[in-house]
Amino acid sequence: MKVELRPCRYVQSRFGLPVRRELEGYTCPKPEWSGEGYCIFHNPNPDKDHEMFREQLKLQLQQCFIGFIFPRRFTFPSIDFHDADFAFSRFCGTADFQNMTFSGKTNFQYATFHEGANFRGSRFKADVDFIGSEFTGTAWFNDTILDACIGFISTHFKGEVWFAGISNAIADMTGAIFEKEVHFHNTTFSASSFIETQFMGITTFGYFKHMGNRSDIDAASKAPKIVFFEGVDMKHLLFREADLTRASFSQCYNLDQASFYDCKWNTESGRSHVLYDELELRGKVEPWEKMAEREIKRRKGKNQINADSNNGVEIQPAQPLLDVKHSAVEETCRAFKKHFEDRRNFLVAGDFHEGEMEMRRLAKGTWGRRFFSIEAIYWLLSQYGQRWLRPLVCFIVLNLIAATLYSLTGLQLEGDSLVIRWGSNLESSLLFWADSIYIYLQALLYSVSVSALLRGIGATPNHIFGLFVQTVQFVLGPLLIFLIGLAIRRRLRR
């Protein structure tokens, strides 16, 4: 008696997702396996017979792997993938596609990679799509050759991701989520999009380049750790509404050709644009080294640090390619200042000018040179020419003190032997307070005229100490007036 095999009951039931029309309501035409209602490919048991799975896979005439559940110990046979469709498939073990070639269009829409994926050295000759896919373990795309476009739209990476050594790629990472470290070392994109991409772990764009069309980096992260752009060629990069509060731009180049629109920056008193690198060197934020050390401890506590199954190297948190030094941050601030000055945004350029000068002051090393150098005086008097109120207050205080000292030491009126000084005619005056106020106002008028390098009120100091005060005013008065004018000019400059 012939036993009729029932068909596999797998149905792609996740309707409403942005997938190809032929995937909606897809049913499997294969017969069931081992009486469980599913064929061997769609059987949900992750420990099913991987050898039989492998043999049956070789018999596939068409490379349609929609909804396949690949067992844990499965390894792909020698296959030339052409128009392969892995939509909604699930890889229970590590998906190893190392050094494989995908000749036609490849689809990994809504695929799930439970223990990571290895695409090292693979070549995609046509478009490849990872829309809505989920990577739980480490994803390796090192040295992948991309002859067409790769799409990671709304892809969720829960583990570490490597894109090192990729050249001339066209990548769309709109809405992708990177929960852990992600590395773009020595990567060159001819076109790319990072619109609404979320970088939630330590991210490095070391020696990253973008050639051709502009790359849009939008809404960089919701809960960022650190994003490193060390040594990146910023040409053609556009940051739109990106969170740059934990972004390191140390030793980038071509910053003047990047664009920043409505980005979120660090702020502090009087400044609305402060680089993370500057705050780190000043001890205002947690250094990335401590953050990485805490991440290691957290992983060890959850037993998440394991030897990588592909190369036996223990996974460590990301590290920047270059050491952050005062001179490097100073150069970065100078580049940002020039960037915004070229766009006539002088208020923002002033924030980066302040950061540039602060790094120069802190680079002095010794405590004495930090607080008693020319830069320190510039900072103390006017916050590096950015604050007009501080030198104005200093100017007022200088003249009030000088007027008091002139009133005490006396002023010799020109063409008269009379010396105006507090208490000089106390015995003959019945209006002591009126006399004192008159003398002080005369001294104050003389003090202001000296500070402003104007002709005096026809008086000279009557004491050597008064001459010393006058000399100090000749130096500090014009300097403070210059700093007031400089700050007002920078504030009103358009």
Tell me the pLDDT tens digit for each residue of 241-290.
Answer: 788 888 888 778 888 788 888 888 999 888 999 998 899 888 888 776 66
pLDDT at 348 over 70: yes
Q: Where are the domains of the chain?
A: 389-492
Please state the rounded mean pLDDT for residues 91-104: 90
For residue 197, the tally of other CB atoms under 10 A from its CB is 23
CA atoms within 13 A on the CB side of 1: 2
pLDDT (average), residues 411-422: 71
pLDDT (0 to 100) of residue 417: 58
- 352 has a pLDDT exceeding 90: yes
Residues in the chain: 494
Q: What is the reported pLDDT for 317?
A: 47
Q: Quick check: 449 and 455 in contact, CB under 8 A?
A: yes
Question: Could you read off the pLDDT of 458-488 as tens digits, one per residue?
Answer: 788 888 898 999 999 999 999 999 999 998 9
Question: What's the average model confidence in pLDDT over 131-146?
Answer: 92
> For residues 299 and 144, what is the distance between their CA atoms, to the nearest angstrom?
29
- Element spanning 58, H or E: helix 50-58
More reliable by pLDDT, 287 or 317: 287
Reported as a pLDDT band with limits 50, 70 and 90, residue 298 is: low
Give the 3-state secondary structure of residue 191: strand
Average pLDDT of the chain is: 81
For residue 194, what is the enclosing H or E element? strand 188-194
Q: Is the separation of the CB atoms in 291 and 271 below 8 Å?
A: no
pLDDT score recorded for residue 355: 92
Q: How many helices (H) and strands (E) does the chain have?
A: 10, 32
Q: pTM to 2 decimals?
A: 0.68
222, pLDDT greater than 80: no
Q: In which band, very low, low, confident or very high, does the pLDDT at 314 lie, cut at 50, 70 and 90?
A: very low
Q: Are 105 and 82 in contact (CB under 8 A)?
A: no
Q: CB count, 10 Å around CB of 271?
A: 19
Give yes or no for a contact between 64 and 30, defined as CB atoms under 8 angstroms apart.
no
Which pLDDT score, from 0 to 100, does residue 389 have?
Answer: 92
Q: Interior CA angle at 125 toward 119 and 130, to 5°?
A: 50
